[in-house]
Amino acid sequence: MKTTGRVNGIISNIVIVKADGAVGQNEICYVWAGDTKMMAEVIKVVGDAAYVQVFDSTRGLKIGDKVEFEGHMLEVTLAPGILSRNYDGLQNDLEKMDGLFIARGSITDPVDFNAEWEFTPLAKAGDKVSAASWLGEVKEQWVMHKIMVPFTMTDSYTVKSVAKAGKYKVTDTVATLTDAEGRDHDVTMVQKWPVKQAVRCYTEKPRPSRVMITGVRAIDTFNPMAEGGTGFIPGPFGAGKTVLQHAISKQADADVIIMVACGERANEVVEIFKEFPELIDPRTGHNLMERTIIICNTSNMPVAAREASVYTGMTIGEYYRSMGLKVLVMADSTSRWAQALREMSNRLEELPGQDAFPMDLSAIISNFYSRAGLVKLVGGETGSVTFLGTVSPAGGNLKEPVTESTKKAARCFYALSQGRADSKRYPAIDPLESYSKYLEYPEIREYLDGQIEKDWVDLVYAGKTIVQRGKEANDQINILGDDGVPVEYHERFWKSELIDFVILQQDAFDDIDANCPIERQQMMYKMVLGICNQTFSFADFEECSQFFKGLINLFRQMNYSEWKSEKFEGYRKQIEQYVSEKTK
């Protein structure tokens, strides 16, 4: 028998329910407003009173309306057919919904239960298996989708039988497992998992040891992101957070991309819907949308679903990670998620923390970020979830609670600068404020030494030093004037500008410059660094500025030239000659 209850109080989308039986934290229930059935989640239990957050508008709800508790937590459906889908925060398929806005109480199937998939067995009778062991596979788009022992089956099992190769629906039995007590368990291609529980079906979670290439020079060269790592992009409105995330999602070295729009404006999400189906993945040659899942919960959707959307995206990412795939989960923006937590906390009349955010905001963010990572699977393979979120601090204040709390959890910090954005220096990643703690990892250093060049990290820090010294020189020039400082100060400043214009700035709308391969980044960076390490002799600051402006222009044209093309090599020779004439 399911527990039932009646509405006893309403505070916006928080409903107080008098329950007739036992109710659990985070349990799902359905609140009936007339003939409309609305999903809700228990977020607090006090005696026989359950505080539930409703994922729809509570307008028209009355005291005494019926509530039915389901006996399980908020879950996602995991099965073939998830890729290329557009979901809301509760995994309802948006394409199956009618109208411009989602009607209250709308629920759709997350996958097509009538579709047939070509199943290929991987396990055989007599094999010993456990949760997340691979039983077979089907081809989903171009990804080999592994059919696994459900994550909820925590014991050891023996395979009794596996279905022969052929076409099956996701609800058909594809394997039968026998537990230690001799009971049989039928396994289909579908499983469910609560979104707020991390999937821990792996044998080891080592530290990240590889770099995830994004094609963005300001990230890959200066502050690399690790495969299975975490990072976030804070910045004021209009600084380019969404464009940068879109660029990374198009170019990143990942098998599956999950875009979570948790509270962004609808027009920014529409851009994803419009662009991604038309783009070709440069790594595979397939349509980019084939490896992408979009969790869309825009700012005009229910507040409570914002919180659910980030957990839904991460859970789907963990599912694909268990198949041995590299998954990139991107959330835009986690500030809206934190604001949803604040609204829930305030309506529950909890003791507020800084800026009225929940007292445990740091713990909530840290627990979520900890779900990303590189893992060793039960079969010996590896998979990874890399998480990159954006933060929209009010007024661009990077000291506000969400940014500060996220800083403690994330290992990469890509601070977008309003000044850089205003001067059209995109991506507006501040080279001095931003950092990657993965540069300190011995495993990452070893990887960079082997894959790119020995002592590469030392070269990165050398470039950062040049940029820092250039900023200090520019401060002196601004205070004392062009003639008030030695020419060496101008040379120091222009060397930092050379790194800025050639390496740190990139044109996301140019077909060539938008995606810079790591080999090209290495060559360009070493070339620029070699020039910066030379000593020039300038008569005055005007000669210095003219020389570097000409040099920057040649490098910019080189950036727009196809890698290793005749035009590219031509500009390289021009630069070498241009520099040699000044150093003679």
**Omega into 427 within 30° of 0, i.e. cis?**
yes
Beta carbons within 8 Å of 86's beta carbon, 6+ residues apart: 93, 94, 95, 273, 294, 296
Q: Which residue has the tokens 């991987």?
A: 122
Handedness of CA 463, 468, 471, 476 (dihedral sign): negative
Query: Of 560, 469, 466, nearest to 516 (Cα)?
Result: 560
Asked if 372 and 438 touch (Cβ cutoff 8 Å), the reply is no
Tokens of 450: 């082997």
Q: Which residues are annotated as a binding site?
A: 235-242
Query: Of 216, 207, 233, 230, nearest to 445 (Cα)?
Result: 207
For the chain, the first-to-last Cα distance in angstroms comes to 90
CA angle 269/270/271 to nearest 5° reads: 85
Characterize the bridge pairing of strands 86-87 and 49-54: unpaired
Q: How far apart, in whole angstroms, are the C-alpha atoms of residue 162 and residue 120? A: 10
Q: Which residues are annotated as a binding site for ATP?
A: 235-242
- Percent helix, strand and coil across the chain, each rounded to 5? 35, 25, 40
Q: How far apart, in whole angstroms, are the C-alpha atoms of residue 465 and residue 1? A: 68
Asked if 413 and 232 touch (Cβ cutoff 8 Å), the reply is yes
At residue 220, the 3 state secondary structure works out as helix
Torsion-angle region of 339 (φ positive above 0: left; ψ -120 to 50: alpha; else: beta): alpha
At residue 335, the 3 state secondary structure works out as helix
One-letter amino acid of 223: N
Write the burial class of residue 402 (CB in 10 Å: 0-12 exposed, 13-18 middle, 19+ buried).
buried
Characterize the bridge pairing of strands 211-212 and 143-148: unpaired
At residue 515, the 3 state secondary structure works out as coil
In SS3 terms, 258-303 reads as EEEEECCCHHHHHHHHHHHHHCECCCCCCEHHHHEEEEEECCCCCH
Tokens of 545: 């500025």
At residue 328, the 3 state secondary structure works out as strand
CB atoms within 10 A of CB 332: 27
Q: How far apart, in whole angstroms, are the C-alpha atoms of residue 402 and residue 410? A: 12
At residue 39, the 3 state secondary structure works out as strand
Residue 326 forms beta bridges with which residues? Answer: 384
Asked if 407 and 219 touch (Cβ cutoff 8 Å), the reply is no
